[in-house]
Chain A
Amino acid sequence: MPNEQGSIARRTALIFANAVLIAGCGGGTEPRDTTSPTVTSTAPANSSVGALINGVVRVTFSEAMMASTISATSVTVTPAAGGVAVPGSVTYDSPTRTATFTPLQPLDYGASYTITVTSAALDLAGNAIAADFHSTFKSIQKVFDKPYFQGTNNITSSSQPQIHVHIRFTQTGQTLGRPADCERLPLANCDVLPRNAAGLAAIGALDDQGVAATITQASGTFTDPNISFAFTLANGRTFSFTGTVSNSETMTGTLTGPTLLPIQIILSRIPVPES
Chain B
Amino acid sequence: MKASKARWICAAIALSVACGGPAVVDPGPTQSVQFYFAGTDGSGALHVHVHWVQSKHNITLLSPCVPSDTCNITAFSPKGFEELDITTPLPVALASGSGTFTDPGITFTITTTNGKTFTFTGTVATSGSQVQMVGTLSGPTHPASSLQLDKTAF
Contacts and interface: CB of A to CB of B under 8 A. Distances in A.
Nearest to A160: B67
B89 A210 contact: yes
Contacts of A152: 68-69, 154
Interface string B82-102: 000000111100000000000
For A197, A212, A268, A273, the residue with the greatest tally of chain B CB atoms inside 10 Å of its CB is A273
A15 interface: no
Contacts of A150: 152
A162 B67 contact: yes
Contact of B90 (A154, A195, A270, A271): A195
Contacts of B151: 271
A185 B130 CA distance: 23
B111 interface: no
Contact of A162 (B69, B74, B130): B69
B22 interface: no
Interface stretch (A135-143, A186-194, A215-223): A186-194
Contact of A186 (B44, B78, B88, B129): B44
Interface string B119-152: 0000000011110100000000000000000111
A154 B130 CA distance: 23
B76 A209 contact: yes
B13 to A, nearest CB: 51
Contact of B75 (A187, A211, A266): A211
Using C-beta atoms within 8 Å of the partner chain, give the interface range for chain A. 20 to 34
Contacts of A197: 90
B153 interface: yes
Interface string A71-107: 0000000000000000000000000000000000000
B77 interface: yes
Given A200-B89, A270-B150, A209 B77 contact: yes
Contacts, number: 75
Interface residues of B, number: 26
A116 interface: no
Given A164-B69, A211-B75, A211-B76, A151 B154 contact: yes
B69 A273 contact: no
Nearest to A196: B90
B67 A194 contact: no
A1 interface: no
For A193, A266, A271, the residue with the greatest tally of chain B CB atoms inside 10 Å of its CB is A271
Contacts of B130: 271-274
A40 interface: no
A158 B67 contact: yes
For A200, A210, A212, the residue with the greatest tally of chain B CB atoms inside 10 Å of its CB is A210
A155 interface: yes
A266 B152 CA distance: 12
Name the 7 nearest CB pairs between A and B, nearest first. A268-B153, A274-B128, A186-B44, A152-B69, A186-B40, A271-B150, A211-B89
